[in-house]
Structure 1
C-alpha cells in the first residue's frame, strides 16, 4: 500500500494554501499527497466536545492512514506533534514548517509576545476578518515578496467557507498556552523542520532551542524567507520536502 503525506495548514487558513505545492509534490514524490482542513477551518467539521487541540486532533486522526507523514505549517505543526505522540501508529514522520512546539515567549524560550496573542484574541471578537488580515501581514513580514504573499494567502482564504469563530478563538488559545516541548523532545519518529530566517513568529533562537531539545531534529533555514516559506520560496521548499518525504 502506498504511503501518504498529509499537509496541515496554519491558524485562520484552510487547505487551499497548499494547492500549488501539493500539485507539484504529487508529480515528484512516490507517496500519495493530500491536504485536509483542520476542524473548524474551511470545510473541516467541528468537534462535538469543546474545541481543544486534543478534540480537534482526534478528528484529524480519523482521516489518516497508518504510517502517514505529516507536514504541519505553524499551528498545523502542533497538530502534527500531538498526533505523532498520541496516535503513533498513524504517524511515521513529522515535517514542521515555520512551527515550534511552543509559540509563546517564555523565560528561556523565544516566541510570540504573550500580549500580541492576547491582543489578537481581543480584536477577534471585534472584527475577525480584519484580525486575520493583520495576522497574514505579520506572517509575511521580512519576506522580499511580502505584499504578493499576503495577496496570495487572502485569495486562497476566500476559496473556502469562513473559519468557525470558536475554532479561531481556541486556535489562538492553543498558540498561547499549549506547550509541546516535552513531547517534541521525546518523539520516536523522525522530525524535520523548514524555517525562514526572517520569521517574526518563530524566531531563530527558538529553532536553536528545538535542536537542543531533540538531537535528531534536522533543520533547514531559508535566509530570505519569513513565516510562509512554501509560498514565498516555493522551489527551495519543494526541494527540501522532496529530500525528506
Structure 2
C-alpha cells in the first residue's frame, strides 16, 4: 500500500493543520497532500471566479495527484464527494468525515442542521466574525469527552479573518446552506466510507441510515462518544478505521488482478 497518495481536505473555517494528529500515521504508508479550501478559494478569487463546489473541484483537479485516496472532513467531504463523481478514475477510495449530503435541513432531509439555526449562525457571522468562529469551534467539539483538548487543537487551526479568507468564509457558508449532494452520493462509483460522530452537534449521527439509502454499497460507521472532529479526539481509532478500510480496498483490487 506504500505507493499511493492520500489527499486530506479541511472544512469550513479551519486550515489543513487540523489533520496534524493523524497525518504522521498516514505518512508511514502513503504520500500525503493536505489542502486548504481557503487557499484554493483565494486562487479562484485571484482569477475572478465565483466560489462554488465545482470551481473548487476544478482547482483540485490541477493541484492533486492523478490518483489518490480522498479524505474530506465536513465541507471538505462534500467537495471530495463531488470530485469522486466528476473524476472517478482519479479516486482510489473516498472517505468522508462528519459530512452530510445536505448540511442544512430540507423538507425531505430532516437529519441535518435546522434551517433556522443555520440562518441564526449566518446572521451572527455577519455581525461578529470572530465570535461566530469561536461558536462554531465550540459546536465542533461539543459532545466529546476530550472537548477542551480538542478545542485547543482546533483554535490553533482557525482561519484568519482577513480579506480573501473572509470572502471564502462567506462563500463557504453559502455552499453549506445551498449544496444538495444527494444525487452525487447516488452516483459515487468508488469504494466509500462515511464516518460520523455519535455526539456530533452539527451533523446528526441519525443521517447514517439516510446515507446508506443513497449509497447502499458504502461503509457507514458511527464513532461512539465522538463529535464533529473524531480524528482530533481519537486519532488512533480514526486512523485505524481508515487503514482497515483501505486495506480491504487494496486487497480486493489485488485479488481481482
The two structures have a TM-score, normalised by structure 2, of 0.87
RMSD: 2.0
The reply to whether residue 20 of structure 1 matches residue 15 of structure 2 is no
Q: Verify the 8 A CA contact 1:104 1:111 in the aligned structure 2.
A: yes
User: What's the offset of the Cα at 1:215?
Assistant: 0.8
**Equivalent residue, structure 1, for 2:211:** 210
Moved more, 118-127 or 195-204: 118-127
Q: Secondary structure at the match of 1:46?
A: helix
Q: Is 1:35 aligned to residue 26 of structure 2?
A: no
Whether contact under 8 Å (2:15, 2:36) holds in the other structure is: yes
Q: How many Å separate the matches in 2 of 1:88 and 1:174?
A: 22
Report the Cα distance in structure 2 between the residues aligned to 1:214 and 1:89, rounded to whole angstroms: 18
State the match for 2:253 in structure 1.
none
Q: Is the 8 A contact 1:22 1:34 kept in 2?
A: no
Structure 2 matches for 1:223-242, cutoff 5 A? 223-242=224-243
Partner of 1:66: 66
* Pairs within 5 Å for 1:98-177: 98-109=98-109, 110-157=111-158, 164-177=165-178
CA contact under 8 A between 1:51 and 1:166: conserved in structure 2? no
Judge which range, 162-171 or 102-111, deviates more.
Answer: 162-171
Contact 2:21 2:231 in 1 (8 A): no
Q: Deviations over 1:190-233 (max 9, x none)?
A: 11011111112111221110011111110221111000000011
d(CA) in 2 for partners of 1:135 and 1:168?
A: 12
Q: What secondary structure, in the 3-state scheme, does the structure 1 residue paired with 2:66 have?
A: coil
Name the residue aligned to 2:43: 45
User: How far is the alpha carbon of 1:161 from its aligned partner?
Assistant: 7.9
Count the aligned residue pairs. 241
In 2, Cα distance between equivalents of 1:166 and 1:220: 34
Q: Which contiguous aligned blocks of 4+ residues in structure 1 show a shift greater than 3 angstroms? A: 160-163
Question: How does the TM-score come out when normalised to structure 1?
Answer: 0.91
1:44 to partner: Cα distance = 5.5
Contact 2:70 2:94 in 1 (8 A): yes
Q: Which residue of 2 aligns with 1:184?
A: 185
Secondary structure of 2:124 counterpart: helix
Shift of 1:40: 4.1
Q: Indicate the structure (1 or 2) with the bigger Cα radius of gyration.
A: 2
8 A Cα contact 1:112 1:201, kept in partner: yes
The unaligned stretches of length 5 or more in structure 1 are none
Secondary structure of residue in 1 paired with 2:100: coil
Q: Deviations 1:150-199 (Å, cap 9, x if unpaired)?
A: 111002337x7857112101111111111011110121111101111111
Q: Which runs of 5+ in 2 are unaligned?
A: 247-257
